[in-house]
Amino acid sequence: MPLSEHEQRLLEQMERALYAEDPKFASALEGTGLRTYTRRRVYLAAAGFVAGIALLMGGMVAQLIWVSVVGFLVMLGCAVLAVTAWRRGPIGSHTGPRTASTPRRKAGVMDRMEQRWQRRRDEHDGL
């Protein structure tokens, strides 16, 4: 469930306060170790995918079906690993407190509908 606008502002204020009070501790909490781990995992999965393609093609050339099947399974496993690491990992996340100039991600259909509903409810409460 996404945070409301008020909750996002509070979180950003707390982040800024943490950076102002103890920048060393805040930088330790950024998760650079996790980011490098995730990036390395995606790169290894991509290399495994290429190796799976090589096994698949080698099995087809040598007419060994089992080698082709193993290559396909390696490709499939590495693709799943890369996608899950990419989605869960903080590769695309921001590394500091969000400022007003930082562009927000595009809101999806459900996010826009939820914002409209919230606006209507707020307008109805204000009447």
Measured distance CA(127)–CA(91) in Å, rounded: 45
What integer pLDDT is reported at residue 73 of this predicted model?
A: 95
What integer pLDDT is reported at residue 21 of this predicted model?
A: 82
What integer pLDDT is reported at residue 97 of this predicted model?
A: 46
Measured distance CA(80)–CA(48) in Å, rounded: 11
What integer pLDDT is reported at residue 106 of this predicted model?
A: 59
**Cα angle value 106/123/118 (rounded, 5°):** 35
**pLDDT, tens digit (0-9, with 9 covering 90-100), for 78-108:** 999 888 877 765 544 444 444 444 455 556 7
How distant, in Å, are the alpha carbons of 1, 82, 102 from that of 4?
Answer: 9, 31, 18
| pTM, entire model | 0.46
